[in-house]
Amino acid sequence: MQVIADSQPGPNGEQRPFYDFLESCLRHKSEMVIFEAARAICNLKDVTVRELTPAITVLQLFLSSSKPVLRFAAVRTLNKVAMTHPMAVTNCNIDMEALITDQNRSIATLAITTLLKTGNEGSVDKLLKQIGGFMSDITDDFKIVVVEAIRSLCLKFPAKHRSLMNFLSNVLREEGGFEYKKAIVHAILALIH
C-alpha cells in the first residue's frame, strides 16, 4: 500500500496511478486495510479535497469506534490533514467533540488540537473551557502541542485575543516544565505582536 501511495502523478499533473485502487481499499472488510488506504490517500502529495473526501468519511466512522486504537489512528490522521486542509475535516468536528472526554488522554488531546485547527471563531471559547478542564491531566509534551495549536488560533482569529490571552496567562501559572512554559511565553509574545 505504501509503494502505491508513493507513486506520484506525472509531470503534467496527469491522473494519479493506483488512486482508484486505494479508493477501492476503503471498502475492504479488514479495518487495517481500510485505515492504511485512508492514511495513504491523506498522505498523497498535492492531494485535492475531492480526493480526500472518501478517506475522511471512513476516518470519521473510525472516530466513533469502540476500539481505542482505531479512534487514535483516525484522529491522528485527521489532525495531520487539518494542517493542510482544515476545511476538509470540519465535517468531523461533531464526532471529535465527543472525543474530548475520551479516557485516553492522547485521543482527547489530538481531538482538541484538531478542533482548534478546524473550528470557527464561535467555538473558541467553548473549546478553551473544555481544554482548561484536562490540561492538568496530560503530560508536558501534549500541553506543548495544545499551546502551539492555540498560538496558531491567535493568528487565525484576532477578535479572540482576549480569551486566548486569559487562557494562556492562566496555564502559565500552573505546574509545568521549562519547554512547556517556554511554549506559553512564545504564544503570548505572538499574541502581543
Tens-place pLDDT, residues 78-114: 999 998 998 999 999 999 989 988 899 889 889 988 9
Please provide the average confidence, as pLDDT, over all residues in the chain.
86
What percentage of residues in the chain have a pLDDT greater than 90? Answer: 39
* Helices 178-192 and 140-156, axial angle in degrees (round to 10): 10
* pTM to 2 decimal places: 0.81
**Is the pLDDT score of 177 beyond 50?**
yes
* Least reliable range by pLDDT among 30-34, 151-155, 165-169: 151-155
pLDDT, one tens digit per residue, over 111-155 is 988 998 887 888 888 888 888 777 877 888 888 888 888 888 777
**Is the pLDDT score of 11 beyond 50?**
no
Residue pair 155/117 in contact (Cβ under 8 Å)? The answer is no
Q: What is the pLDDT of residue 129?
A: 84
Q: H or E segment at 15? A: none
The set of residues, in sequence order, having a beta carbon less than 8 Å from that of 166 and lying 6+ positions away, is none
CA-angle at 18, arms to 15 and 20, nearest 5°: 85
Q: What is the pLDDT of residue 80?
A: 94
**Is the pLDDT score of 8 beyond 70?**
no
The set of residues, in sequence order, having a beta carbon less than 8 Å from that of 68 and lying 6+ positions away, is 102, 104, 107
| Neighbour-count burial of 158, counting CB atoms closer than 10 A to its CB (0-12 exposed, 13-18 middle, 19+ buried) | exposed
